[in-house]
Structure 1
Amino acid sequence: MGPVEIGMLSVLAIVILVYLGLYIPIALGLVSFVSVWIMSGKSILAFNFLKVAVGDGVTEYNFATIPLFTLMGLLVSKARLGRDIYDVMNSAFRKVLAGIGMATVGANAIFAAITGSSIASASVFTKISVPEMLRYNYNKRFAVGVVAGSSVLGMIIPPSAMLIIYSFVSEQSVGDMFLAGIIPGLILTVAYIIAIYAMARLWPSYIGEEIRTDDMPALSKTEMFDKAWPVVALIILVLGGIYTGWLTPVEAGAAGASLALIIALLRRSITWQGFWSTLVETGHITAAILLLITMASFYSRMLGFAGLPNQLDALLQEWDLSFFHIMLIYVLMMLVLGTLLDTASIILIVVPLFITLIEGMGLSLVWFGIITVIGAEIGLLTPPLGISCFVIKSTLNDPNISLKDVFLGSFPFAVIMLAVLIVLIQYPILSTALL
């Protein structure tokens, strides 16, 4: 058995092990170690590969973005900014048909710009938005579906943990990935809002046919300003600092975390004990992500040693496939894997296989990252895994809303994501215009 065959079997082995429940970094590291050992016949070479991967991971300066943005997101949740964002958006959309659904999308988009986590968005807005929509007679499937669909914005609109992970796997600038995610994130947000309005007009039974809006409270301009300024300040500081070049991504993360702490202290929403627990949680999340990235580096080196990316590139060129066919294969692969694996796993497994091919075609790896993240994020809404859907079900804890309701409710939003993905593939400039 040659190196290429071993490399192909290793990819299959990783997918199976992850699907069976083995911790992703362990699966990546174990299979990579064994594969290098088998290909070389020397265990010492496998240890050297692992040593280099770990050494590179520990010394990478940009890895500091992970704990800083994680801390910022946790502090934002402590400051209860999610509730404030929702109140402002709900007041703004209160007179619009299906306005609470649109408000949920808008609030999720803004919340994504200061937390970067789909899971956090799903958890927060399940508690805030779903009960509110049910109180005004919205369809229960729409109520959970709009939260599930809009929660994925957390992984597209920067700062996004998945964009950070992709940037390390592909050796791209974190700042460039953040800038590239802005326009696609806004496009998806607008697409969701337009789709909700269209469904309310053309498919009222899905939204809710007896929606009440007459007693929906409205905020004064002063109240809206008081609730909105902390969020606006964070977005301007973090994304504005990166976009203007005043701050590097690491510095922007530090500045954002500092401002989020100040806001939480001013609101008296965090105690010293709560701050300590936030720091500990940040450490746990950071350690998990860094181990994941380190083992992904080990996996990429194993694939390069096996020559699998070059062989895949040569094979696809031999077949003389067009750009359309290559992207079709790639998207279908992500959609299939999305029903089994989480987003990080898909990025770590698939990107190293295709990155040589994409570079050889002269395509932007930044654009390719946006396509990868959005394609993989569709899996958050599709069974059997559908992590966002499981988070919503477990957070809601309502016996009248089943997991089936959540999946059916989120299906239209998964279709919209796919449509936006096709547009972004057709027009790469939408992802690279700000670079």
Structure 2
Amino acid sequence: MTPFDIGLVALGVMALLVLLGMYVPIALIACSFVGVWAIKGSPLLASKMLGLAANDAISSYFFGVVPLFVLMGFIVSESGMGRDAFEVANSAFRRIKGGLGIGTIAANTIFAAITGISIASAAVFTKIAVPELRRHGYTARFSVGLVAGSSVLGMLIPPSLLLILYGLLTEQSIGDLFVAGIGPGLLLAVLFGAGTILMAIFTPRFVGENLSPNEDGVTASELIAKGMPITLLIALVLGGIYGGLFTPVEAGAIGTVGALFFGFAKGTLSPRALWRILVETGMVTASVCFLIIAAQMYSRMLAFSGLPGGFGALVVNADLGLIALISLYCLVVVLFGMILDSSSIMLILVPLMLPVLQPMGVDLIWFGIVTVIAIEIGLLTPPFGISVYVIKSTLHDKTITLSDIFIGAAPFAALMLICLAIVIALPGLTSFLL
């Protein structure tokens, strides 16, 4: 067998193992090891090469951005800043038709700008927003669908754990990826807000036919007290990165210190909660570390097999234009999202596409944003839809089924498709701030 044939077999076996339920990084590592062994003819050489890949994956200084931003996100979530953001945004939009829904989207946008983890947003706003939405006349399906849809903003609006993972996989600037995510992230938030207003007007049976205006506003002093901490934290972290004052790693460290300060100052962060946060941060960091190691091994195996080069030649011979190629890629990403989590999709597809796109001169920053938006759509699609399962497990309401959440999230998945089409058609949307 040629190296190309071995690469194809390894790819097929890996897909089969994943479908049978094997943990994706384990499948990647196992198939990569056997693939390199078959190509090079030596298990010792294969183990040394993959060992070097593992070392290269996490020895970089920039890997430190992962635990720091994860820790900051958990502290912000635990300290109640999500609830504060919701109350401030709710107060600003309470008199608009569907205003409480828009307030939820705005609060999720603010929360996303400091946490970067969509699962955290889904869990926090399920507890905060869903009861309030139901109390003011919104239907159960729309309430949970709105939270599911707006929670994925955490994967796009910087800082984003998925953008960090993409940057580490492709050796692109994490700071540039953060800047590139601002325009599409705000566009998606605006589309969600406009869609909520239109649905409240034209589909009242789906949203809620007897919406009561929310008069639970806050005074100016309360608004400042609740909004100031998270505003200062966002300005400190993102302003420092975009202003060139410090690197993303340094921003994560400074933001973590700032989050600790506000958490203890508010009295909402206890030593016991801090210990739990540290343990959860360690678990997430170890998981991401394992994912990156598996991805590096997988990339080495693909390089040895010549599989990406073969796919590149196939694309050239098929005479596919860039838009057609990216559209086909996005379709595959969304389909993968129906059975895999977001990190696994990125691990499998990005190393395969990267060598195909680089000779074409594609902007990899733009490609990263396109990839993240397409993956986000997968977070809302059945049967996997991890955000939907997080909401269901957090809700503790047996009257709301998984199908209710998927149906409620469907309009927001459609709005995300519109956002994806705009970003593909207008690449400048990701680069105008760079």
- What residue number does 2:101 align with? 101
CA distance in 2, matches of 1:236, 1:218: 25
Partner of 1:71: 71
Tell me what 1:325 maps to: 324
CA offsets 1:100-121 (integer angstroms, 9 cap, x no match): 1111111111101110011000
**Shift in CA distance, 306/163, structure 1 to aligned 2, threshold 3 Å:** same
Question: Which SS does the other structure have where 2:138 is aligned?
Answer: coil
- Report whether the alignment pairs 1:265 with 2:264: yes
What is the aligned partner in structure 1 of residue 365 from structure 2? 366
Does the CA-based 8 Å contact 2:323-2:424 persist in structure 1? no
Counterpart Cα distance in 2 of 1:4 and 1:44: 21
Residue 8 of structure 1 deviates from its aligned partner by 2.2
RMSD, aligned CA: 1.1
Amino acid at match of 2:299: S
Q: For residue 365 of structure 1, what is the amino acid of its counterpart? A: L
2:253 alignment counterpart: 254
Residue aligning to 1:193: 193
Q: Displacement, 1:297?
A: 0.6
User: Aligned equivalents of 1:303 and 1:181: distance in 2?
Assistant: 29
State yes or no: 1:216 paired with 2:215.
yes
Q: Which residue is 2:393 aligned to?
A: 394
Residue 19 of structure 2 corresponds to which residue in structure 1?
19
Q: Is the 8 A contact 1:19 1:341 kept in 2?
A: no
Whether the aligned pair in 2 keeps the contact of 1:191 and 1:416 (CA below 8 Å) is yes
| Residue of structure 2 equivalent to 1:404 | 403
Cα deviation for residue 11 of structure 1 reads 2.4
Gaps of 5+ in 1: none
Instruction: Name whichever of 262-271 and 61-70 sits farther off.
Output: 262-271
How far off its partner does 1:16 sit? 3.0
1:165 and 2:165 are equivalent in the alignment: yes
Deviation at 1:5, TM superposition (A): 2.3
Compute the displacement of 1:284 (Å).
1.3
Question: What does residue 206 of structure 1 align with?
Answer: 206
Q: After TM superposition, what 4+ stretches of structure 1 lie above 4 angstroms from structure 2?
A: none
Residue 413 of structure 1: how far off its partner (Å) = 0.4
Task: Indicate the residue corresponding to 1:347 in structure 2.
Answer: 346
Aligned residues: 434
Tell whether 2:34 aligns with 1:34: yes
Query: Structure 1 residue 427: deviation in Å?
Result: 0.7
Matched position secondary structure for 2:323: helix
Partner of 1:51: 51
Deviation at 1:157, TM superposition (A): 0.5
Residue 282 (structure 1) shift: 1.2
Q: Percent identity?
A: 49
Q: After superposing the two structures, state which structure 1 stretch, 218-227 or 280-289, moved more.
A: 280-289
Q: CA deviation at 1:337?
A: 0.7
Where in structure 2 are the equivalents of 1:102-121 lying within 5 Å? 102-121=102-121
Tell me the distance in 2 between the aligned counterparts of 1:225 and 1:77: 19
Distance 2:223 2:300 in 1: 51
* 8 A contact 2:105–2:193 mirrored in 1: yes
TM-fit CA distance, 1:2:
2.1
Q: Does 1:142 align with 2:142?
A: yes
1:312 aligns with 2:311: yes
- Residue identity in the other structure for 1:31: C
Match of 1:152 in 2: 152
Name structure 2 gaps, 5 residues minimum. Answer: none
8 Å CA contact 2:58–2:292 kept in 1: the answer is no
Distance, in Å, in 2 between the alignment partners of 1:418 and 1:219 is 36
Q: Distance in 1 between matches of 2:8 and 2:165?
A: 23
- CA distance in 2: counterparts of 1:349 and 1:83, whole angstroms: 36
CA contact (8 A) 2:108 2:121 kept: yes
Say whether the 8 Å CA contact 1:69–1:115 is kept in structure 2: yes
Corresponding position of 1:415: 414
Distance 2:350 2:174 in 1: 16
Q: State the shift of 1:433 in Å.
A: 1.4
1:224 CA drift (Å): 0.7
Aligned residue for 1:376? 375
Q: Distance in 2 between matches of 1:12 and 1:386?
A: 24
Q: Give the TM-score normalised by the residue count of structure 2.
A: 0.98
The 2-side partners of 1:402 and 1:271 are apart by 34
Please state how far the C-alpha of 1:21 moved relative to its aligned partner.
2.5
Tell me the SS of whatever aligns to 1:381: coil
Contact (CA 8 Å) 1:11, 1:349: kept in 2 or not?
no
Whether the 8 Å CA contact 1:72–1:253 is kept in 2: the answer is yes
Q: Tell me what 1:244 maps to.
A: 243
1:433 paired with 2:409, answer no
Question: Is the Cα contact below 8 Å between 1:342 and 1:387 reproduced in 2?
Answer: yes
Equivalent residue letter for 2:344? S
Aligned mates of 1:354, 1:174 — CA distance in 2: 19
Q: Secondary structure at the match of 1:341?
A: coil
- Measure how far apart 1:12 and its partner are: 2.9
Task: Give deviations 1:167-189, integer Å, cap 9, x for gaps.
Answer: 11111011111111111100000
